[in-house]
Every structure is written in structure tokens, then in C-alpha cells.
Structure 1
């Protein structure tokens, strides 16, 4: 992070962690400090491989930023919402309905959730390079160097080490996935600040307390900087929804569609959702910081069948389509972004709703 005097901005005071008794998910922990030795790498490879093969989610600690630096990023994350007027936000809207790209603001009530209820979520997506490809509201201009440095830290110090561990877990050359995630390449990878606002009781009843239906992420790896307002749940292997617990200055990391496709299903794109916070946090604002990583746009999302893990007796390579028909990252991202929260879903088995994008079935879990 930049060491110069930082611009003064308001301090965001987060809610206290919940004291409710909730059923928490038991997620493995990756200590990135151990990646500095070969012995540590071997240990972390095993933990990361098993975590992403079984759960698709894990915690990251010792990621290189202090709690004070983390707090500063949270303050920055609130600026595009609390320091920018609604009229100015409209000038920097993402236009995702026309382009299938996420850069800019997604306004509240853009997504349909259920039974006529629309989302109460503000977000802004900023491309990793924080350069001339995108324009920003005036309040963010003094903060762009810090945001660029934050993107670089996420990309090189967190994402790349994770990708190396996952390549090692499939017995592939260590930089296999890293080489698909070039910082300077065109693409949608970037930081996203998200602010959730409380809903009316009427809407909570209509939407069954669900703020975002169960889904998988579009890209390869999602990095969530843990924040204290509970709401995130994952669908555990036993079919139960469990809460993801907040841990100070930790990261919650999950696999998305792109990595599941590239790994032939060896790594799981985990199903997760956001629900109404527990009673003692019900009126709190939920402010989140994410780094959404996608492969380079041209990468074809077909299984890396050269992996020895996929060629062992009894191994099952899971494909969503024939390899020749596999979409590129650009095609898959565009299809998912254009459709999410906009299309009419069809009823599947149980509580599953479905849509077909680029010939592939996408499931939503309610």
C-alpha cells in the first residue's frame, strides 16, 4: 500500500459481530506465511486441494495486509456510496444489461430476487488496472492510487499464490493457472465494493429472507475480505445451508465456474447465497470488499486433461459440454452477466431453478 500521506475520508464504523447461536460452516484455513518454504508449500497444497475439492471455500490468513490497512480499505469502500450522490452514480452506471460487463455502478433494485422483490444492494466494480478504461466519480479520484495498489496486492500476493497451490494440487506446472490470469490483460477481474441495505418486513416474507439466491460465481476465484455482518451461507456437501463466520482480517475464498470447468470438476464452484442477517444485526449496513478474478478473456473453459489427477484410474472428468463447444471466459462472463437477475427461471428439481446460457444449464438454489 502507498506509504505517503493518505487523503482524509470518513471512517466507516462496522457493526459488532453477531452473538446469535448459528450453525457455522467448518472451513479449512490457509496460512500464506507458510508458503515461504517448500515444506510449508507441500502442507498448504494438500489443504487447498482438499478444501476446494470438497467445499470450494476456505479461509486465508497472513495475507500481507495489517488490520489497520484492512480498516482503511473498508473506509475507502464506503466512499462511492456515502460520498457520491444518486444522480452522480447514474453517470457511472455499468450498462451491464447492454454490454454484459460489470464496470461501474449496479444500482439498487436492478436484480429480481423472488415474488416481485428486487435487491437492496448497491455495488461498484472497478477494473484491476484502475486506468483510462473506466471513469470514476470525483470523490474516488484521490483514492485511485490506493485502490490500484489494493488490486495489485490481491492479484499478485493472494490470487497468484492460491492459483499455484491449486495447480500443484492437480499435479500441473505451478504457473498453469497463473498464466491464465495476467494483470495487464483485458478482462473483468477487479475490486468490487458492495453495500447491502435492510429490507422491509413485507419483502423479507415475500423473498423468504433470501437476499441473493444460491448461485455459483462466474469467474475462477473470488476473494472476500471478511466483514462482521453475517449473511453469507454455503450449501455444505450434506445438503445443509451453513453460515460463514467472520474472522478479523481474514479472507474467505471460493472457486467459481471458470476454475470448475478448467479442472474438469475436480475443484467445486461452490453454491452460496446471502440471507437476512441474524436478529442482532438486522438493521446494520453490510459493507463488503471483494476481488473477483476471472481468467483472461480468450481462455477456453475446457478441462485441462493433461492433469495426472484427471487421468488416474477411477477419476471422473466432469464436463458441462463437449470440449469443442466450451465457451471462452469472455463468452461465459457475458452470458452470465446479461442474464443474472433479469431472466425468467424455470422450475427444476426440489428448490432448484434453471436457465440455459450458451447451451449450458445454470442452476439457482432457493
Structure 2
């Protein structure tokens, strides 16, 4: 009987880590291996609470994937960008402006960034139901890897973090897990993303900003760390860089978690900028798992939480007119990179109003 062979993807070689002296954010490191006992989970819940309250960004280690598995996924992530012809890419192009859903390709220059400059990032987006749609020919042999990766992110990381968030709010452990179901309609998806270098003219016109400061749409975002420095978060001290840690995840809170917690955990403002000089000219390949609540979950505070009752709840709107996750997703996704933003009275901020709720973009 012939042995089973595992297809080998072409190897993607990232840029070496930067040696530039950057001002990095001091982020907490959450070790998920400590969560195998009730006592360990209680300890982790407090660490997550502090991390979300301090920066809204933190690292996760010991998440269940080995370095070799992670390296293989980055090789696979590059296939939709480097292994598919431009003609075939058009057959799998999405149109998030029309659908409010990220699926298939987002081509370069689909979004307006600033001053007439359009983006230079390409995505291939895959809803968590990997086999629900067709994929480019070159990616098909690796769909079992993608499916396993999606389920690992969802069940072993996103839902585990959801349990820790619930415990941090003194709610039943499964409260948020029950809002992140895998089998029901929702926008949760994995994104393979590649940034390409830009012209000096575009850098000057956008002040080196590749993606304006924003908050993510969903509950929690899982970003697999990669070596090209470009991600920054807004802190009390100003913009700070995010350091690369091998085989770590970078987790941040989004809109939905801010809605659910009445502002106790705020969505973190982050942006992407031109890398430091020793990494310019390289592409930047990323893998992101965007966690969304189920589409029918209404974005109202979990007012039964003793922690939120004590802290005080800030509502973005009245509960009776609060959007569902699906409604908010469609509004935010459809508008991004296409709607005309208005200048705010606040310095370096632009605004739009969606469903009566103010959304800010930070320049």
C-alpha cells in the first residue's frame, strides 16, 4: 500500500527581524498552557482583564501550534498571492463594499487610504466554513491544512479566550462561547494578507501610513506574529510599535467586545505604517483570524456582570436600537475604504456615522 504524501507548499522567506531601535509597547504575555485547571484559568482571567484594560493588545503563547506548523501555514498563506495568476484571482474576487462580507480576494488598490493614495495590500479571505465555496486551484491541495487551522483558532484559542473574558467579568464561563458558535451564520474568517512596498511619493502623501488608525469590527482578533515591523497601537504615550515574538499570537479587542462590556474593554486603536529602513523593499505576509459574534447577537452590554455593574456601563446607543453583530459587520465592512470621512474637531481624526453610532479613524 503506497504511503500517504503531504503536499509541500513553496517556502515563503520573510524579511529578517528589524535591528532598528523602536519604541515598543510593553504588552502582557498570556500563557494558555496555564489554563488546564480552574485555578489556572482564574489566574489567566485576571491577566487577560489587566491586559485588555491596559492596552487592549497582548501576546498569547503555548496556543497549541508548533513552530513547524506555524511556518507551514505562512507558506500556505502566500499561495493565494504568489501562486495564482491575476486572471484566476479575478474569478475569486470578493466585493466587500457591496456584500459587507470578506470572502475571496481583496485586490490591491481597492481601498482609499488618504490624499488620493490607494492601498497596496492584497487579501485572500476565507469564511470559517472553508468548504462552503470554491478556492483557487493552487490552494485546493492545502484546504485540509486551512480547515484544521481555522478550527484550531476558533475552538482552541478564540473560545478559550472567550471563557477567560467571561470569568474576568464574573459571568458563567460559556457566556461568550455561546455567542461564538462555529456552525451558525456569522462573519468570522481567516485572512491571508500581503503588503507590498509603496512608492516614495505615496509614502509622502500619506505620511508613511499604510492603514489609518482604527478599531476592529468583531470581538477579538488573532494575529499570528511575523517579523516585519509595521503594526502600531495608540497608547497614552502616543503610537508604539508591536514587537515580533516567534510563534506567538497578538490578540486585540474589537468593537463587539466594547459593545458587550459597556466600554469596560475598549476596542484598541491600531494602524499599519511603513516598516523601518532595514525592512523596506520586503513584502509583509500576515495571517489573521477575525473573531465575530454570531450575526444575530445584539450588541448590548452584559449588564448582569457584577464587574460591569460596579465599574459602570457606557452605552454607544440605547439598547432598543442597538445593532446586531451582522448589521454592524455589514455597515462597517461596506463603508471601509469607500465612504467619505468627515474631519473631526479632534486633531488628526476623521469620522463617519453608521446606524447612528460615531466611528472614528485616526490619522
Which range, TM-score by smaller chain?
over 0.9
CA offset digits 1:88-111 (Å, max 9, x no partner): 111111121211111110000011
1:316 to 307, 312, 317: 312
User: Structure 1 residue 188: deviation in Å?
Assistant: 1.4
Contact (CA 8 Å) 2:171, 2:305: kept in 1 or not?
Answer: yes
Is residue 2:356 matched to residue 1:346? no
User: Structure 1 residue 323: deviation in Å?
Assistant: 0.7
Partner Cα separation in structure 1 for residue 196 and residue 6 of structure 2: 28
Partner of 1:331: 327
Partner Cα separation in structure 1 for residue 97 and residue 287 of structure 2: 23
Partner of 2:221: 222
Is residue 2:155 matched to residue 1:169? no
Partner of 1:304: 302
SS of corresponding position for 1:288: strand
Is residue 2:355 matched to residue 1:358? yes
Partner Cα separation in structure 1 for residue 37 and residue 334 of structure 2: 44
SS of corresponding position for 1:48: helix
Contact (CA 8 Å) 2:225, 2:247: kept in 1 or not?
Answer: yes
Partner Cα separation in structure 1 for residue 50 and residue 273 of structure 2: 27
Partner Cα separation in structure 1 for residue 362 and residue 125 of structure 2: 25
Aligned residues: CA RMSD: 1.1
Partner Cα separation in structure 2 for residue 93 and residue 321 of structure 1: 35
Partner Cα separation in structure 2 for residue 318 and residue 260 of structure 1: 9
Partner of 1:79: 79
Runs of at least 5 residues in structure 2 that lack an aligned partner in the other structure: none
Partner Cα separation in structure 2 for residue 249 and residue 186 of structure 1: 30
SS of corresponding position for 1:131: helix
User: Structure 1 residue 4: deviation in Å?
Assistant: 5.9
Partner of 2:155: 156
Partner of 1:267: 265
Contact (CA 8 Å) 1:187, 1:297: kept in 2 or not?
Answer: yes
Task: Compute the TM-score of the two structures, normalised by the length of structure 2.
Answer: 0.98
User: Structure 1 residue 37: deviation in Å?
Assistant: 1.9
Report how many aligned residue pairs link the two structures.
360
Partner Cα separation in structure 2 for residue 97 and residue 167 of structure 1: 33
Partner of 2:107: 107
Partner Cα separation in structure 2 for residue 67 and residue 58 of structure 1: 19
Partner of 2:283: 285
Partner of 1:183: 182
Partner Cα separation in structure 1 for residue 213 and residue 88 of structure 2: 32
Partner of 1:202: 201
User: Structure 1 residue 316: deviation in Å?
Assistant: 2.2
SS of corresponding position for 1:79: helix
Partner Cα separation in structure 1 for residue 336 and residue 275 of structure 2: 23
Moved over 3 A (4+): none
Partner Cα separation in structure 2 for residue 296 and residue 241 of structure 1: 32
Which sits farther off after the overlay, 84-93 or 3-12? Answer: 3-12
Contact (CA 8 Å) 2:97, 2:336: kept in 1 or not?
Answer: no
Partner Cα separation in structure 1 for residue 290 and residue 98 of structure 2: 21
SS of corresponding position for 2:130: coil
Is residue 2:49 matched to residue 1:53? no
User: Structure 1 residue 38: deviation in Å?
Assistant: 2.3
Partner Cα separation in structure 1 for residue 308 and residue 62 of structure 2: 31
Contact (CA 8 Å) 1:103, 1:188: kept in 2 or not?
Answer: no
Task: Compute the TM-score of the two structures, normalised by the length of structure 1.
Answer: 0.97
SS of corresponding position for 2:154: helix
